[in-house]
Chains A and B, each alone.
Chain A
């Protein structure tokens, strides 16, 4: 089980049909230029101050620290239980609950959960509870003043570490490896949170930053006056504060998902990846992240140059507009894993320690159904996800250009938009298998 991409899984998707790939590419081009030329010519999405406030009861519940701590305690108990099952349960991956919960239910499930409910991991993050208990060690965090200068760079680093584990690390699917990562991650995060204060998690915990970034595309948001509101997901995304390192977070996500796609191609499997060498895997992942970085930076700089904008701010300014594209890639690559191999979590949860005769929920004897969703449906979801992400990305970039220069010419946006089209072609190409 150690060779397969993305941590765990029993299968990978079929290449999408050539017709669907070409249709997707054509739609991307057509929709891009429609947005550029026919959409609004003045900013109109609304920013940080937009949205209709939710009822007071909901506001109070969502802001209740007692509720948060209760939920964090529940997540903490669940985490401890799953890691214990990882270490004490059956040693082989197909029968051990932990890798499936961690890679599929948690990591992939974080995407729909955040998209529907908002920044869930921030609310239920068990590390926040433990960090609070550890505060007796250093009541006044010595690093708290330096924290804002770090921006989101720590999150980019911790996400890259997790993605390396998921996509490259030898033995990544083994329960012991996963338990080691979870415990090591918790220790490092807790130590840093004691040093920098509880504010650390919002910028340094990759999972929390990932969830919060996706939640920007949920219908829920916090207005600049602090009230919880319901608003257009596009308004939520465009109001993302341009923190240093945001572009790095987005690029790490996009680049590593592209690498995941690359490892499923015949080219990779019969070429560089055939040896299953972690050094080659690491280089491949770095190469994909590097390629995405180069394309993104060149696109934003050229656009800035045409529009006579200060170049240094350009890459950071457009980072949020790439989030939907990264999200589209993510849905395309993980949809089938979630709905097919994700069943394993519910089967194994019925007997977490592999004890003979135990079947808590009566699901332990169920068999993984790899035909629950047809290959045609998977291909359609994949192409729709990529195209939807692309359209939202181009729309956001259009609005962002108008926000920075009221009389921005459509042609100024061309370099960045072309890069987005190339990302989309690349995404479709990886699904097609080149």
Chain B
């Protein structure tokens, strides 16, 4: 049984560490390449991507269609293992802008035209994919 003062010392130590990490964290390094995005293209999600190497996890295609302001298809929260090459295919019935937060990939959406965002999921966390005009989240990408 640990006595409270010792526990507190540890808690305070933890907070000090937090502060140090926060201050040193401001140095900020660029994450490894997060891939680029490409407009247009086929929306048929075969899952086979050129980016998938021999050792990396199998590529994952996430397909979302937005009609009348609502998202259909792979919505909700989609878990993918760290390092997975991801193709996010979004089709909207109205002109919009799709934004994957954290990875910070943005792409214009033309009405009815499938648009593909490609990335390698190498930053862990839960990230929103948002449509800016409709102001809705269409899917959460859970990496890790």
Contacts and interface: CB of A to CB of B under 8 A. Distances in A.
B142 A11 contact: no
Contact of B104 (A4, A10, A363, A373): A10
A375 B125 CA distance: 7
B77 to A, nearest CB: 5
Contacts of A392: 4, 7-8, 11
Contacts of B16: 116
Interface in B105-144: 123-128, 130, 135-137, 140, 142-144
What is the interface of chain B mostly: helix, strand, loop, or mixed? mixed
A404 to B, nearest CB: 20
A224 interface: no
Contact of A3 (B4, B12, B102, B128): B128
A371 B31 CA distance: 7
B31 A367 contact: yes
Interface of B: 1, 4-5, 7-8, 10-12, 14-16, 18-19, 21-22, 25-31, 75-77, 101-102, 104, 123-128, 130, 135-137, 140, 142-144
Nearest to A30: B1
A10 B75 contact: no
B126 A369 contact: no
B28 A4 contact: no
Interface residues of A, number: 54
Contact of A4 (B10, B27, B101): B101
Nearest to B127: A11
Contacts of A340: 25
B4 A369 contact: no
A270 B135 contact: no
Contact of B126 (A12, A217, A363, A391): A12
Contacts of A266: 76-77
Contact of B144 (A338, A347, A375): A375
B135 A2 contact: yes
Given A3-B130, A266-B76, A369-B29, A10 B101 contact: yes
Given A3-B136, A14-B142, A266-B77, A370 B125 contact: yes
Given A115-B15, A381-B14, A391-B7, A342 B25 contact: yes
A84 to B, nearest CB: 22
B80 to A, nearest CB: 12
Contacts of A345: 26
B125 A11 contact: yes
Contacts of B1: 34, 38
A342 to B, nearest CB: 6
Contacts of B30: 367, 369
Given A4-B101, A340-B25, A347-B28, A10 B127 contact: yes
A388 interface: yes
Interface in A199-218: 217
Contact of A116 (B19, B75, B140): B19
Interface in A1-46: 1-4, 10-14, 34, 38
A279 interface: no
B137 to A, nearest CB: 5
Contacts of B19: 112, 116
B136 A339 contact: no
Contacts of A232: 4-5, 8
A346 interface: yes
Name which of B11, B14, B75, B101 has the most chain A CB atoms within 10 A of its CB. B11
Contacts of B25: 339-340, 342-343, 369, 372-373
A116 B28 contact: no
A269 interface: yes
Given A264-B126, A269-B140, A381-B18, 17 more contacts: A1-B101, A10-B127, A11-B125, A12-B125, A13-B125, A13-B126, A14-B124, A234-B5, A270-B77, A340-B25, A343-B28, A369-B31, A371-B123, A372-B29, A388-B11, A392-B4, A392-B11
